[in-house]
Chain A
Amino acid sequence: MGKVRIVHYINQFFAGIGGEEKADYKPEVREGVVGPGMEFNKKFGDDAEIVATIICGDSYFNENLDEAKAEVIEMVKKYNPDLFIAGPAFNAGRYGVACGAIAEAVEEELKIPVLSGMYIENPGADMFKSSVYIVSTKNSAAGMRHAVKTMAPLALKLAKGEAIGAPDAEGYIPRGIRKNYFAEKRGAQRAVEMLIKKLKGETYITEYPMPDFDRVEPNPAVKDITKAKIALVTSGGVVPKGNPDHIEASSASKYGKYSIAGVDDLTEETYETAHGGYDPIYCNQDSDRVLPVDVLRDLEKEGKIGKLHDFFYTTTGNGTGVKISKSFAETFSKELVADGVDAVVLTST
Chain B
Amino acid sequence: MVHMCTVTPISLTVGANRIIPTIAIPYPLGDPKLTKEEEKVLRRKLVEKALKALETEVDGQTVFED
**Bound state CA distance, A296 and B29, in angstroms?**
12
Which of A221, A290, A296 is within 8 Å of B55, CB to CB?
Answer: A221
For B14, list chain A residues within 8 Å (CB): 213, 322
Q: How many A-B residue pairs have CB under 8 A?
A: 120
For B13, list chain A residues within 8 Å (CB): 210, 213
**Bound state CA distance, A347 and B62, in angstroms?**
16
Q: Given A218-B18, A292-B29, decide whether A344 and B2 contact each other with a Cβ distance below 8 A.
A: yes
Q: Given A218-B18, A282-B27, A299-B47, decide whether A348 and B4 contact each other with a Cβ distance below 8 A.
A: yes
For B36, list chain A residues within 8 Å (CB): 286
> Once the chains bind, are B30 and A286 in contact (CB under 8 Å)?
yes
Q: How far is the CB of A176 from chain B (nearest CB, A)?
A: 20
Interface size on A, residues (CB 8 A): 44
A contact face: mostly helix, strand, loop, or mixed: loop
Which of B4, B10, B26, B43 is within 8 Å of A283, CB to CB?
Answer: B26
**Bound state CA distance, A292 and B20, in angstroms?**
14
Tell yes or no: A214 within 8 A of B by CB: yes
**Bound state CA distance, A228 and B57, in angstroms?**
16
> Once the chains bind, are A295 and B30 in contact (CB under 8 Å)?
no
**Bound state CA distance, A228 and B14, in angstroms?**
26
Interface size on B, residues (CB 8 A): 42
Q: How far is the CB of B58 from chain A (nearest CB, A)?
A: 5
For B4, list chain A residues within 8 Å (CB): 345-348
> Once the chains bind, are A285 and B15 in contact (CB under 8 Å)?
no
For A348, list chain B residues within 8 Å (CB): 3-7, 10-11, 28
> Once the chains bind, are B30 and A282 in contact (CB under 8 Å)?
yes
> Once the chains bind, are A349 and B43 in contact (CB under 8 Å)?
no
For B27, list chain A residues within 8 Å (CB): 282-283, 289-290
Interface 0/1 of B1-42, CB less than 8 Å to A: 111111100110111111000100111111010001001100
> Once the chains bind, are B40 and A349 in contact (CB under 8 Å)?
no
**Bound state CA distance, A281 and B13, in angstroms?**
28
The chain A residue with its CB closest to the CB of B53 is: A221
> Once the chains bind, are A221 and B28 in contact (CB under 8 Å)?
no
For A213, list chain B residues within 8 Å (CB): 13-15
Q: How far is the CB of A218 from chain B (nearest CB, A)?
A: 4
Q: Give me the interface of A with B, judged by CB distance under 8 Å.
A: 210, 213-223, 225, 228, 230, 236, 278-283, 285-286, 288-292, 294-296, 298-299, 304-305, 322, 343-349
Q: Give me the interface of B with A, judged by CB distance under 8 Å.
A: 1-7, 10-11, 13-18, 22, 25-30, 32, 36, 39-40, 43-44, 46-48, 50-51, 54-62
A288-B29, A292-B43 given; 6 more Cβ-contact pairs under 8 Å:
A210-B13, A343-B1, A347-B22, A347-B29, A348-B28, A349-B28
